[in-house]
Structure 1
């Protein structure tokens, strides 16, 4: 039992999982709401707590994926680590893993080639000038973008 309620949180999870289901991919429920997880309604405004929890899970997932696929990333300076985290966060390994030449250049410390690889990609055209030039600049120079300095 919970210290502040009369119900058993573990039993409630079992009950709600049976009633709501547990889906890792967003779906539309019977009333038309976008839903994910154990009945989490994505059609309503999310609290700061939920936003922070989702962000924390996404960052942890990105770190684990980088650890699994690019174990050398932890030896980079903090700015280049942040650039790889941003890329992983944005693309996931399925897309980032296709940047074979860029990642090879990155791992070899050839940051000019890695930055150029990012800028000359479909990804750069999709995310736009600001994000692509910010990240390419971080990779090339090892410095955060100017707008973060103030």
Structure 2
């Protein structure tokens, strides 16, 4: 009997275990040496695999209907949720970020939401948001929420463009699966994601469970532990069980973002993300499924204190 059969039986057994046990087993298998930390927040174990095996289904483009642990069915993620998801991986303070420099686990001076001050363009990026690199690096200056937001949105726009370039099927994936890929680019860089050959091959054939397993079996997963498990869970499920977030009301229409309807908050479907201190960003061009308006660009605008204050525009290069 083929080994693959036992693997499938083992994985099905994991799905029937409580979330805390499943997480502990996965961490032990990937060799992280980290003790089980309890259930993955907001990512419950699926009671039964979707009837279509995790491929494209009724949950939206690239998604599959599945039962949530607390009842109901999974739903698409929203842009604001994706940004919060990634920010929580990059900073203990999520979208608030870290206004003062600190040293990360890789010994890099870091500020904001995972912004590495050792990167080659750090001085230029900080100057672009009105911050002095030397003062920030020395701890003499802190970043404002607006500066933290602009640095993060710029890096996310770059990561999104890279994911779209590396994964030909990106636009047909559900938002949850897109979130996992963008998070990987944000963490590993474009080259890092491009080197996940088994993952990319699985995505090409719609094998989302295989894609998730290739993430769990990687050296990267052994390095980052829970982050990889969360990303792999998103890849496998394709939808989220988190409660629908509160709407992000749109401000008056910005002429630079076509289609931003001032009367359609839609629970965040306009691409709205609410940061602390009254900073809000809008990115309505990021959504599930292919779009005839997609031009390989990311356009993000920032609204603060009653005014449109800045715009981030990144092209796929």
Q: How many angstroms apart in 2 are the aligned matches of 1:72 and 1:136? A: 17
Supply the distance in 2 between the matched residues of 1:68 and 1:114 (Cα, whole angstroms): 18
| Structure holding more helix per residue | 1
Q: 1:68-83 to 2 correspondence within 5 Å?
A: 68-83=165-180
TM-score by length of structure 1 reads 0.69
Task: State which of 213, 224, 227 in structure 2 corresponds to 1:116.
Answer: 213
Distance in 1 (CA, whole Å) between partners of 2:152 and 2:204 is 27
Q: Give CA-to-partner distance per residue, 1:21-61, whole Å, 9 cap, x none.
A: xxx716xxxxxxxx611453432322111110011101110
Contact 1:119/1:136 (CA < 8 Å) preserved in 2?
yes
SS at match of 1:71: coil
- What SS does the aligned partner of 1:143 have? coil
1:90: how far off? Answer: 1.0
Aligned with 1:67 (options 164, 167, 177): 164
- Aligned-residue offset at 1:71: 2.9
Question: In the TM superposition, what are the counterparts of 1:77-92 in structure 2 within 5 Å?
Answer: 77-92=174-189
* Aligned residue pair count: 117
Say if 1:102 and 1:114, in contact at 8 Å, map to a contact too.
yes
Q: What's 1:57 paired with?
A: 154
Unaligned stretches of 5+ in structure 1?
Answer: 1-23, 27-34
TM-score, normalization by structure 2: 0.34
Give a deviation string over 1:47-96, Cα, whole Å, max 9, x none. Answer: 11111001110111012112222232011011111111111111111111
CA shift at 1:149, angstroms?
Answer: 4.3
**Residues in 1 aligned to 2:227 and 2:155: alpha-carbon distance in whole angstroms:** 19
Cross-structure match for 2:234: 138
Structure 2 contact 175–239 (Cα < 8 Å) conserved: no
| Contact 1:80–1:138 (Cα < 8 Å) also in 2 | yes
Tell me if the contact between 2:216 and 2:229 (Cα under 8 Å) persists in the aligned partners: yes
- Which residue of 1 is the match for residue 133 of structure 2? 40
Are positions 1:101 and 2:198 aligned together? yes
CA contact (8 A) 1:137 1:143 kept: no
Distance 2:167 2:238 in 1: 18
CA contact (8 A) 1:66 1:73 kept: yes
Would you say the 8 A contact 2:169–2:203 is kept in 1?
A: no
Aligned counterpart, 1:25: 120
User: Secondary structure, in 3 states, of the residue corresponding to 2:239?
Assistant: coil
